[in-house]
Structure 1
Amino acid sequence: MLITVIGIGDDGLMGLTPTAKTLVDGAEVLVGGERHLAKAPDVQAERFDWSLGFEATLDKMADLADKRIVVLASGDPLYFGVGATLIRRFGAENVFVLPAPGSVSLACARMGWSIPDVQVVTIHGRALENLSLHVTPGARLIVLSRDGDSPSEVAELLTSKGFGPTRITVLEQLGGADEARHDGVAESWPNETRAHLNIIALDCVGGPNAKPLSRLAGLPDDVFEHDGQITKREVRAVTLARLAPLPGEVLWDVGAGAGSIAIEWMRTDRSCTAIAIERDGDRAACIARNANSLGVPRLKIDCADAQDALVSLAGAPDAVFVGGGVGVPGLLIKAWNRIQPGGRLVANAVTAEGAAELLKMKQVHGGELIQISIARNENKNKDITLFENMRTVTQYCAIKPLETKA
């Protein structure tokens, strides 16, 4: 079986090399979106698009393995495209990819921007709030749009975040006969629908009300909505350092409260994921709002009792943080048992009962116990400077041993 994936631009088959055009002309089966197939009206082949859904279409392709299958895709099929899906299903040895200049390359060419210096964010099939994570002064962003309403939605989001002066360029129908460009700034961007096929270039500028947020651990407490159940900023920074997130890793945040640990975990890298476990429905809703506001709407929330969640959740996390319910007998060992070998458990306690459970864990499984004492300056009296002690936090950190072969 060999599937050929050919990237095309808005100019269709006219922009293909002779070799790529020959492969398309020789196809016995032609697969692609409706827009892609419409650009090859003269190719005599059995055709089907993705309207059946990806899995059903892939199954159909598998049934036609003895045919010459050509898939048409936009630009570079391995950049937010169907190429990766096909390779995962059929294997790299059975998929041959011929890329064309993609929308990101074309957009940077039009803007005069160096590709390595831009950050690409997609809101195509993903939440608009993903963009919030990347909006910082001086950042140059290429945003892959969902549709013609995306530019005005992006402008509204930027303005709400205090980045109204951000320069916006909308590039439509890139590489085609109807290519067009529209420039403006977010705070005065017209609320109108543009061409469905567009890409957005942002040169981010913060206004006087902008509050840029670092990707490092320890965001200010007041950027989170909370009812007091939140791991405080200084303790949170230490906790994230102990959890030590790496790209692609999974965290379970047990007794998540405001979700601050899970949210900051995910902010470290776009490939990091987390599940926030919080039994209180109001707090779970608060976590969802915080995740959206802080650019990680992909955060999963399990509104369940911690004991039940640690039994029912699928998979084995790379790290578990227990911030609520530490004193519940048996909770920590349940968390420990779910972590994959080499994973980390970090737990914080402010009560004597919780600290006692942490000591038991250390005695059985090793690891390290520390105490974190923080005093904050409270300016209640202008004439003197006083510090107010926060509750001392006892923290346990342990790495689960790697399994050894018998």
Structure 2
Amino acid sequence: SRHGRRDSLTEAVRHHGKVFCLTGGSDTPAALCRMLCHAGLGQARVAVGYRLSYEDEHVARGTAEELAGLKEEGSLAVMMIWNDKARPWQRPVHGLPDESFIRGKAPMTKQEIRSIALSRLAPFPQAVIYDIGAGTGSCTVELALLAPAGEIFAFEIDEEALSVLTANIDRFALSNVTVVPGNAARTLPSVADAPEYAFIGGTKGNIPAILDEIYRKNRACRIVMTAITVETLAAVTAYYAGRPDYTLDITQVMTARSRRVGSSHMMMAQNPVYIMTAAYDPVPGGERSSSCL
């Protein structure tokens, strides 16, 4: 349904041979057909039904590409979509190559760290996920691919990073991402959807306020955080020291990449990164709540 909701149409069509859709608001049949075309699904066959069961009932048929310029007869309609090339969804491998993304001056979580951090988060396909400090959007993109039937909220304050973030969302034709500009400590309350998972890559020094707001919405939210400074590590450990109902796991990851030097290769060390995973555990030392796994 796109009637007052944001269920992902493109991912549904990409992975199913038949999709039935309710339209509404700005998501008119023509607009949704243009969305399908942008996602490379322009050849999907579409039937649009207007005013069904009334005397002036009308059904328009064609491919998504052909109906992208359809003259609107109102936003309330139904669509039946057939995709003969649909492929069942498979969980993607974590850690797309860094070269897959448009880059800017804003920091980007590197492939190796991304792979480990997202495997620790392990969201289910229908999850609501917050990406706080989204930067250029490498984690946002991968989270959207991991949860194609879910909703990703990408929080970012830097104007240049927002531009690159939006460009990467567009590059991967993602329809399940909502960008939330501004300081996350202030914008988090404006998002009505409670997170089931959260990835935190940057907080501008507002870790306690951000974590408090996440847990206010869902105390069982599973959170993975990355940090390169010991000050951030100290702030996180201090926060959870007063929260015995959570378990905190900390891993330090150090990687090196090869660089060609003449006819040889030299390993170049990358900055060590702390990966911190916080999970709700109402019985410390006991069996962890299944809602966090």
- 1:204 aligned residue: 83
Match among 107, 116, 141 for residue 19 of structure 2: 141
User: 1:140-160: per-residue Cα shift (whole Å, max 9, x none)?
Assistant: 222323389944333333333
Structure 1 residues 29-66: Cα deviation after superposition (integer angstroms, max 9, x where no partner): xxxxxxxxxxxxxxxxxxxxxxxxxxxxxxxxxxxxxx
AA at the equivalent of 2:252: Q
The verdict on how the C-alpha distance between 1:126 and 1:252 changes in structure 2, with shifts beyond 3 A counting, is closer
How far 1:401 sits from its partner (Å)? 4.4
2:253 aligned to 372, 384, 399, which one?
372
Q: Which residue number in structure 2 is paired with residue 397 of structure 1? A: 277
RCO comparison, higher one (Cα < 8 Å, 6+):
2
**Rounded Cα–Cα distance in structure 1 between residues aligned with 2:90 and 2:101:** 14
Mark the CA change 1:244 to 1:279 in structure 2 (over 3 Å): closer, same or farther.
same
What CA distance in whole angstroms lies between the structure 1 residues aligned with 2:264 and 2:89?
Answer: 31
How far has the Cα of 1:368 moved from its partner? 1.4
Q: Residue type of the partner of 2:131?
A: D
Q: 1:180 to 1:385 in 2, by over 3 A?
A: farther
Q: Does 1:160 align with 2:35?
A: no
| Mapped pair 1:218 → 2:218 | no
Distance 2:112 2:53 in 1: 50
Deviation at 1:257, TM superposition (A): 1.0
Superposition map of 1:6-405 within 5 A: 122-125=1-4, 130-136=8-14, 139-146=17-24, 150-189=28-67, 191-193=69-71, 195-196=73-74, 198-204=77-83, 216=92, 218=94, 220=96, 221=98, 224-227=101-104, 229-245=107-123, 251-262=129-140, 264-265=142-143, 268=147, 270=149, 272=151, 274=153, 276-288=154-166, 290-291=168-169, 293-297=173-177, 299=178, 301-304=180-183, 308-309=185-186, 318-325=196-203, 328=205, 331-338=206-213, 339=215, 340-351=218-229, 353-355=231-233, 367-373=248-254, 390-402=270-282
1:345–1:399: 8 Å Cα contact kept in structure 2?
yes
Give the letter aligned to residue 161 of structure 1.
A
Partner of 2:289: none
SS class of match (1:342): coil
Q: Contact 2:180 / 2:187 at 8 angstroms: preserved in 1?
A: no
What is the CA-CA distance between 1:181 and the residue it aligns to? 3.8
Judging changes above 3 Å, is the alpha-carbon distance between structure 1 residues 147 and 253 closer, same or farther for their aligned structure 2 residues?
closer
Distance apart, 1:180 and its partner CA = 4.2
RMSD: 4.6
SS in 2 for 1:156: helix
Identical pairs, percent: 24
Q: Unmatched 5+ residue regions in structure 1?
A: 1-121
| Change over 3 Å in CA distance of 1:131–1:375 after alignment to 2 | farther
Distance 1:279 1:147, change over 3 A: closer
| TM superposition shift of 1:167 | 2.0
TM-score by length of 2: 0.65
Amino acid at match of 1:284: L
Structure with larger Rg: 1
Corresponding residue of 1:4: none
1:289-330 Cα shifts (integer Å, max 9, x gaps): 555641124x251402x5x5399778885544321258x4xx
User: Is contact 1:149-1:192 (8 Å) kept?
Assistant: no
* Change beyond 3 A, Cα 1:312–1:294: closer
The answer as to whether partners of 2:34 and 2:68 remain within 8 angstroms in 1 is no
* 1:117-145 CA-partner distances (Å, limit 9, x unpaired): xxxxx334457x94333342654222323
TM-score by length of 1: 0.50
Instruction: Report the CA distance shift for 1:384/1:198 in structure 2 as closer, same or farther (over 3 A).
Output: farther
Residue 201 of structure 1: how far off its partner (Å): 2.0
